[in-house]
């Protein structure tokens, strides 16, 4: 819990007033919106969440985020994470990660149909309740043609909805523990 101490001058001398910061929202949309606004306030161009509180970044939004130095992004995340503390931000279970890999295999097959080979699918828990979904191999700056193929495949596979559902189901089953 964050406690804000404010020194106030009164007629009888100096007093210290202690106020509790508002509790983080347990509403995924409101918590994620507050988080996104806070990040932007710290100079990180983060988009707003969808109505479910999920962030699905476009390739252009990801490039903008990567354009901010990692140290600045990390500092902003640390400063803003408190907005998400009312949500279940536990790492994904092994079962959820395995389910997400299956979705990535579908994406890989679709990309193969466009002539693009992707590495081994990986799903890895990261700090701050985040997870990485991707493929092993060298990071490639996608050509416009490859970016288009990826966008088409993500829509065909319905990747964003499936991954969001896997995360939501996993976190609904496993209640939040201490942070």
What pLDDT band is residue 21 in, cutting at 50, 70 and 90?
Answer: low
Locate tokens 């991707």: which residue? 134
- Calculate mean pLDDT across residues 155-165: 92
Spell out the alpha helix ranges (H) of 84-158.
Answer: 94-113, 144-157
72-124 confidence digits (pLDDT tens): 999 999 999 999 888 888 899 999 999 999 999 999 999 999 999 999 999 99
Percentage of the chain modeled with pLDDT above 70 = 83
C-alpha–C-alpha distance, residues 79 and 85, integer Å: 12
Give the residue with greater pLDDT, 63 vs 98: 98
Angle at 131 between CA 1 and CA 123, to 5 degrees: 155
pLDDT band at 9 (very low <50, low <70, confident <90, very high): very low
CA distance 110 to 157: 8
For residue 66, what pLDDT is reported?
85
Cα dihedral sign, 123-126-131-135: negative
Q: Provide the pLDDT for residue 99.
A: 97
User: What are the sequence ranges of the domains in the chain?
Assistant: 23-84, 94-173
- pLDDT of 10 reads 36
Counting other chains too, the contacts that 54-58 makes at CB distance below 8 Å and 24 or more residues apart are 54/28, 54/160, 54/164, 56/160, 56/164
Q: Out of 36-50, 56-70, 74-88, 113-127, which region has the weakest mean confidence (pLDDT)? A: 56-70
What pLDDT was estimated at residue 164? 86
Q: Which of 23-27, 93-97, 123-127 has the lowest mean pLDDT?
A: 23-27
Q: Could you tell me the pLDDT band of residue 37, with boundaries at 50, 70 and 90? A: very high
Q: Phi and psi (nearest 5°) for 125?
A: -70, 145
Q: How much is the pLDDT for 1?
A: 27
Secondary structure (3-state) at 77: helix
């Amino acid at each position: 819990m964050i406690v804000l101490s404010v020194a106030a001058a009164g007629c009888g001398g100096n007093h210290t007033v202690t106020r509790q910061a508002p509790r983080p929202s347990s509403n995924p949309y409101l918590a994620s919106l507050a988080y996104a606004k806070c990040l932007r306030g710290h100079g990180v161009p983060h988009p707003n969440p969808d109505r479910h509180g999920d962030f699905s970044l476009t390739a252009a939004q990801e490039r903008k985020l990567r354009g901010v130095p990692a140290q600045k992004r990390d500092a902003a995340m640390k400063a803003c994470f408190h907005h998400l503390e009312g949500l279940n931000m536990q790492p994904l279970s092994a079962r959820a990660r395995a389910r997400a890999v299956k979705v990535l295999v579908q994406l890989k097959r679709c990309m193969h149909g466009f002539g693009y080979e992707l590495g081994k699918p990986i799903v890895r828990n990261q700090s701050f309740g985040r997870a990485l979904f991707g493929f092993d191999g060298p990071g490639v700056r996608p050509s416009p043609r490859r970016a288009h193929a990826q966008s088409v495949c993500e829509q065909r596979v319905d990747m964003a909805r499936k991954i969001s559902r896997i995360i939501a189901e996993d976190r609904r089953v496993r209640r939040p523990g201490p942070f």
